[in-house]
Structure 1
Amino acid sequence: MGLRIGYAAGAFDLFHVGHLNILKHAKSQCEYLIAGVVSDEILERAKGHLPVVPLAERLEIVRNITYVDKVYAEVLPDKLQVWEELRFTVFFKGDDWRGTPEGKRLERAFAEVGVEVVYFPYTVHTSSSVLRTALELINHPVGPEDRIHGVQR
């Protein structure tokens, strides 16, 4: 059957326990794990803002996680193009993608090249978006005058 090569991609911005759990769980299901760290440009296009931690630093953080055998800077927007470069056999994704139009498209495209798609539970209580919001509130707290005028940050 050959080596089971896994690919788990993410922003890995404001690295937290949810990221660690994804990588740990992915490694438990393959012999060799490649962690894709999505580029600043792709994240800005997808989410409408740049990550807090720049790509070079996110790569260094993920590279030093025990479960990761190789780190890859994901600069290609299409996961099938990434597969053409890396030739992984299993693709790991958060289950928030399961059943979505993008998730179904990904499953079909990967099925055509023999890649299995495995979904992991999304860590709801911890996310980079929640951490980003908390940092914004710490740096720019909402004052009484903002509440009066209905300003939200």
Structure 2
Amino acid sequence: MIDINLLRNDFETTKKRLDTRGGDFSYLSELQELDTQNRNMKFEVGKLKNEKNELSKEIGELKRQKKDASGLLSKVEELNKKINEYDKEITQNSEKIKHLLLITPNVPRETLPIGKDENDNREVKRWGEIPKFSFPIKEH
């Protein structure tokens, strides 16, 4: 699973490095968009909860003074509905994000040679002698 911060901080470089693996990573743009939406919605939920808390304090004051607080109560109910809608959408987006992160492989190092298979790798070091057998070796 890839770290979402790699995509948040340097999307283009991360995408280019993933492309060297030879897969289809076109979904990364969707992942970035979902992450941005989620973060914005979480910010909105925070603002709505703050507003709800302020209204709740005002309602408490009005009730202590034995005044009508029905207008503020209806506003609090509306805020609760909005918060619940945002929370549902955040949960759905989070599941999509988690799935996309799980199917995304690790980012290869910059020093890793780019190639299709092991033949494109360069040999760095060889240790010992390769044994020669007088019988056919089984593949495993």
TM-score normalised over the length of structure 1:
0.23
Structure of greater relative contact order (alpha carbons < 8 Å, 6+ residues apart): 2
Whichever structure has more helix as a proportion of its residues is 2
Greater Rg by CA: 2
TM-score normalised over the length of structure 2:
0.24
Whichever structure has more strand as a proportion of its residues is 1
